[in-house]
Amino acid sequence: MAQLLEDRKDLIIPRKLVKVGVAQYSAVNFNLDKTLDRLETIVKDASSKGVQLLVFPEAFLPGYPHGGDMGAAFGNHAMAGRKIYQIWHESAVEIPGPAITRLSKVAKDNNIFLVVGTIEKEPTSSTLYCTVVFIKDNGEYLGKHRKLMPTNVERLMWGLGDGSTLPIYDSPAGKVGAVICWENYMPLLRTTMYSKGIQIYCAPTADNGDNWQYTMRHIAMEGRCFVLGCNQFTRRYDYPPDTEFPNVISDKDGDRVLCRGGSIIVSPLGEILAGPNYSSEELLIAEIDLNDVIRGKYDLDVVGHYNRPDIFTLYVNEKSNPGIVTKMNQLKCSESDDVKDEQGNSQ
């Protein structure tokens, strides 16, 4: 039997090749316009190398405040934290808005599908959200995913996403979606992505630990999908000086690495195709064969033949959960739950 299988290892199998990339670069932190300039330069470089889908890190527009002194302790909220929040808010992204318009032009001009981590603000609220936006290669804005659960100090400043932004979109590289940073430790969220048929699982992050790559490889093998883990590589001098951005690392130590990257591209069977790089900024590129997704599920499909729906059931509430309810029908838990007025009419 072993010899029979060995004889078949060279079977001719059709290939569906596409180039994907992750942009391990620093933002020009808290400066949205200059970060967009930098993004455009990176996208042009990626496009010239044949990349068809490119992922940017968590909070790339306009940056993630690594080492920021948020001035918070139990019972105390210092002005330093309020000041950083203000400059972060001023440079955050409105959706729709000028930054999205520019991203759309960059995607169209370079014929490349963009998955970009942003800090999002709303015109009617001062709350910030950690968000990923999806821009089609023809420039069309497709939609967004808001991080469901901010981590640690992030909870001081970021609102919670809800189930209405868990999208999967068609792209030149296959069905693409995004799960942000420690959301990837949420098993039911991962299962939701698998159930939607995700093929290109994007994981923008700000995680600075040594074990992140184990998570990326586990997810690739669990979901039998390509995983694109993308992080910034950033130094203290990529941030404003101490007078503008109080930091646990002084601006006098400008070369000090605050986030060391570790971006990675992994195949559906856990093979590392690119990265990780812990020493510099880099555009990581891999040519992938989308047929590997189906071949990977030959022996493991956790939402298919390796699932036990008779035992386990996953319920996902994909209804929007607005912070302020202005109409009674916004209280519906699902699309089928109508709220009636006194005359029995749906509201």
Give the active site residues. Answer: 58
Q: How far apart are CA 100 and CA 92, in angstroms?
A: 11
Q: Is 51 helix (H, G, I), strand (E, B) or coil?
A: coil
Cβ atoms of residues 220 and 267 within 8 Å:
yes
Cα 315 to Cα 82, 169, 303, distances in angstroms? 38, 21, 13
Assess contact for 269 and 299: CB atoms under 8 A: no
Residue 180 CA to residue 148 CA, distance in Å, equals 9
Residue 30: DSSP 8-state: T
Closest listed residue to residue 18, CA positions, set 170, 196, 184: 170
Kindly tell me the number of DSSP H helices and DSSP E strands found in the chain: 7, 17
Give CA–CA dist 241/222, Å, rounded: 43
- Amino acid at position 240, single letter: P
**Which one, of 170, 127, 164, lies nearest residue 145 by Cα?**
164
Phi-psi category of residue 174: left, alpha or beta, with phi > 0 → left and psi -120 to 50 → alpha: left
Residue 17 φ then ψ, to 5°: -95, 140
Provide the pairing of β-strand 282-289 with 17-24: antiparallel
Distance of CA 95 to the CA centre of its chain: 16
